[in-house]
Structure 1
Amino acid sequence: MSAPLNIPSKQSQVSEQEWQLRVDLAAAYRLIAMYGWDDLIFTHISVRIPGPEHHFLINPYGMMFDEITASSLVRIDQHGNKLNPDDFDVNPAGFTIHSAVHSIREDAACVMHTHTTEGVAVSTQKHGLLPLSQQSLFPLSNLAYHDYEGVALREDEKARLQADLGTNNFMILRNHGLLTTGTSVAEAFLGMYILQRACEIQLQAMASGDTLVHIPDDILSTIQAQAKQVTKGMGGQLAWPGLLRKLDRTDPGFRN
């Protein structure tokens, strides 16, 4: 039997602000696992720690998402180097995409990337995400695409990814998966939840074999204003406390 991981608490070693970011990020990893969007130890969520150093938190390479805790998260610099030699290693391919986004988007405090079956499936379809559901409208109002260039290890790909993303908060990485950004972990998670649901709905609708009804363009043009009304201007923060309560009931270890 494998021994459980024993990660010493870092709460007393970091600022209160960093600790809250660690708790939120660990919660996001656990939620990704809870919803079945994880890919073993692969894919990543990163969050920027406020301050002039532009340091980030990311998952330790080799840990399953439902094992990640606030203390196990790794603090890294802008080049993906871990700052505490005692921490787990990180996946260099993982931070290539994330650093490309963080370096040009001050508003992208959190970057979330998944390889879900549905997300990858839609990323392979020439037309991409279609306006078939209410869920699809939110990402479609703010969506970019980036063509596949192989495993994300090459430094020169960053500039092309940055140009493709622009000011958008949703991206479909062709033949690869989904990406969302947000001003907080909560914002990026809500974006991923909606984008993932839109992909699931699209695939089920297409599998029915019936003629698909597309939502008119004039409705799409009003969706961003409507989104602010639906969330009372709080964005992802409206749902986030409830998600944390859910985790506290079922999987509270993320706070350690």
Structure 2
Amino acid sequence: MSIIELRQVSKTYGIKKNRYSAVNNVSFRIEPGEFLGIMGPSGAGKSTLLNMASTLDFPTSGTVLLNGKVTTGLNERKLADFRKNKSGYIFQDFSLLENLTVQENIELPLLADHVAAREVWRRVRQVAQLLLLESVLNHYPSELSVGQKQRVAAGRAIIKRPAIIFADEPTGSLDSRSATELLQFLSEVNQKEQTTIMMVTHDPFTASYCKRIIFVRDGQIFSEINRAESRQDFFEKIINMQAVIGGGPKR
């Protein structure tokens, strides 16, 4: 069973003459353990698709299913459970709490669930080791580099071992080294723990870590490619598709 399925979803904003269609009649599935990328020019509807798939937003028409269940048929408690316990979110702006240390930011989802202190510390140490954050656990966000902040955001997203991670331009603010470290981490989580990942990106290098990429243009699916070769060869296929669809990498 697909972990998420979008069936003929459309999303329209505004009213009457000011109506704007961000997504128009899009359908696709995300299977457990996938690493799916969404690419396309600015304004193509990428983030809108991610927000609908993650239940942060809902379609104007069409259906979104979580593990086979229609989201509009789920009550707010079940939707909140999905967002809180079964999914993690990594956004470009980090969304860290400036008055909390790195450790406190990472452990926040566990504290909200009243997890025992010993278990919280055990998981924080595991995540910090994986993300190379052990030396800055007592630092505040203002004392961190941009790359470290994004890794903290990633740590917070995976501390509860969610079934799926949603990432919206997670490398958009990172230098090449920090971006590579984060992508290698996401790839490792996907491969070793079978965590499903849905990632929106403009960047072909970032997208080359995915296993499948859906290209969107003007709110509709334009094309799709699957990785069946080396990451370098997949990168070249992505570059070629971007040349066809328009809207090259964001530099």
Same fold (TM over 0.5): no
Give the TM-score normalised by structure 1.
Answer: 0.29
Instruction: Select the structure with the greater relative contact order (CA < 8 A; seq sep ≥ 6).
Output: 2
Give the TM-score normalised by structure 2.
Answer: 0.30
Higher strand share: 2
